[in-house]
C-alpha cells in the first residue's frame, strides 16, 4: 500500500521525526504568509509536473491545481534551508537485512546525482551510535539520530517495503523532511488496522470474497479453499465466502480472518481447513481461539501438518471441534 505524503509524515511524527506544520485540505483555507502547496497523489515526479509550489497565495494555487483534476492538497509552512540530502530504508535482497541508502544530494534530480552509499543495519541489533556517526560523516550533516532511528522503526514495526525522505532539509534548527514516500507491505496490513483507521483507510484482504451462503469458509491456499467450498456445496451446504489466510499465516492473521468471516451476520457456522506446511498448526489454533472468544459462533477445524498435535491440544482445551479428515469436518458443520 502506497501512502500519501501526509500519511507518511503522520508516521514520521509517530516515531519522533520532526515534520513541518501543515494542513490537509480539499479546498480553500485560511493561511497567512508563504507556504508550500502540494498535490496529494500517489505518483512521483510532482515537482517536475508543477504539483508542488511555493506561494504567498495559497488559495489561488489550490484553485490552479484543481483545474488539473487534483482534489486533495497538503499545505505546509515554508522551511528555509541551504542544503538537501536524501535518506531511505529498504530491504537488502542479498543479506535480507534493512539497508539505509544515503546521498549528500536530495531533491528532484536525485536519480542523476550519482552519489549514493548503502549502509546495512542488521535487524538483530538495529541502528547503533557508530552507524549514525558513519552516516553523518558521509553526508556532512549532524543530528540525524532521530531520523535514522525513526526510519528504521517504521521499516521494521510497520512492515514497510520502502521509507524515503527526499529531500531532507538541513536547517539552522536541525533536519526536517520536506517529503515522504512510504510503501507498506500489503500482506502485513492486517497488523496495522489502528493506523489505517486513523488515516481513513480500511483493510480488506484481497483473498476475501463474500457469497450468499451461511457457512463461513477459511483455508490456506486458493486451491484448498476452493476445494473446501466445493465439498460444502456437494454435501448440501452453501458457502458464505472465500477466505484464504495465505501461506505461513500467524496467530494474528488467522484471528483477523476468522473474525472477518464470523462478523458476517449471514454466517451461522465457520469451517476452517488448514494443511500446515510453513503454516504452523499451533499458531492457527491460537488465532482461532482468540477469534472464537470474540465472535462466539461454532467453528469446525480440519487441522493437519506442522505442530498439529500442539494445535489439537489448544483447540480441545477450548472446546473447539477439530478433525484430521476434511469430509468429517464438513459433515459436522452442515448438521
Distances in whole angstroms, Cα of residue 305 to Cα of each of 269, 278, 302: 23, 9, 10
Alpha-carbon span 266 to 262, nearest angstrom: 9
| 313, three cell numbers | 491440544
Q: Residue 186 to residues 15, 45, 84, 97: CA-CA distances in angstroms?
A: 21, 24, 31, 19
Among residues 7, 164, 283, 308, the one annotated as catalytic is 164
Distance in angstroms (rounded) separating the CA atoms of residues 239 and 251: 24
Angle at 179 between CA 174 and CA 182, to 5 degrees: 115
Residue 78 falls in the annotated catalytic set? no
Distance CA(226)–CA(106), nearest Å, equals 50
Helices 281-295 and 251-262, interaxial angle, to 10°? 40
Please say if 283 is a catalytic residue. no
Asked whether 57 and 30 are in contact (CB, 8 A), the reply is no
Residues 6+ apart with CB under 8 A from 64: none
What separation in angstroms does the CA of 131 have from each of 61, 137, 152, 161, 163? 42, 10, 12, 21, 18
**Catalytic hit among 86, 152, 158, 323:** 86
Catalytic residues: 86, 164
Amino acid at each position: 500500500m502506497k501512502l500519501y505524503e501526509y500519511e507518511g509524515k503522520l508516521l514520521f511524527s509517530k516515531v519522533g521525526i520532526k515534520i513541518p506544520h501543515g494542513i490537509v485540505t480539499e479546498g480553500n483555507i485560511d493561511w497567512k504568509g508563504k507556504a508550500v502547496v502540494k498535490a496529494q497523489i500517489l505518483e512521483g515526479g510532482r515537482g517536475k509536473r508543477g504539483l508542488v509550489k511555493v506561494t504567498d497565495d495559497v488559495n489561488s494555487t489550490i484553485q490552479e491545481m484543481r483545474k488539473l483534476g487534483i482534489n486533495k492538497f497538503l499545505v505546509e509552512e515554508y522551511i528555509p534551508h541551504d542544503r538537501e540530502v536524501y535518506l531511505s530504508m529498504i530491504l537488502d535482497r542479498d543479506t535480507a537485512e534493512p539497508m539505509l541508502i544515503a546521498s549528500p544530494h536530495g531533491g528532484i534530480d536525485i536519480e542523476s546525482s550519482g552519489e549514493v552509499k548503502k549502509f546495512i543495519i542488521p535487524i538483530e541489533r538495529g541502528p547503533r551510535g557508530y552507524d549514525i556517526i558513519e552516516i553523518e560523516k558521509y553526508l556532512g550533516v549532524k543530528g540525524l539520530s532521530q531520523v535514522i532511528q525513526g526510519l528504521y522503526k517504521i521499516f521494521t514495526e510497520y512492515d514497510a517495503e520502502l521509507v524515503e525522505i527526499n529531500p531532507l532539509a538541513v536547517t539552522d534548527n536541525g533536519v526536517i523532511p520536506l517529503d515522504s514516500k512510504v510503501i507498506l507491505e500489503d500482506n502485513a496490513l492486517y497488523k496495522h488496522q489502528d493506523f489505517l483507521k486513523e488515516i481513513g483507510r480500511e483493510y480488506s484482504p484481497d483473498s476475501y470474497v463474500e457469497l450468499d451462503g451461511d457457512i463461513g469458509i477459511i483455508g490456506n491456499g486458493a486451491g484448498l479453499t476452493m476445494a473446501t467450498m466445493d465439498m460444502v456445496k456437494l454435501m448440501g451446504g452453501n458457502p458464505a465466502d472465500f477466505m484464504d489466510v495465505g501461506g505461513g499465516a500467524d496467530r494474528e492473521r488467522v484471528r483477523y480472518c476468522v473474525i472477518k468471516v464470523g462478523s458476517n451476520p449471514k454466517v451461522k457456522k465457520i469451517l476452517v481447513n488448514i494443511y500446515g506446511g510453513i503454516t504452523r498448526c499451533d499458531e492457527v489454533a491460537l488465532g482461532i481461539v482468540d477469534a472464537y472468544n470474540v465472535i462466539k459462533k461454532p467453528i469446525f477445524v480440519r487441522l493437519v501438518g506442522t505442530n498439529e498435535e500442539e494445535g489439537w491440544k489448544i483447540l480441545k482445551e477450548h472446546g473447539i471441534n477439530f478433525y484430521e479428515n476434511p469430509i468429517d469436518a464438513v459433515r459436522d458443520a452442515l448438521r
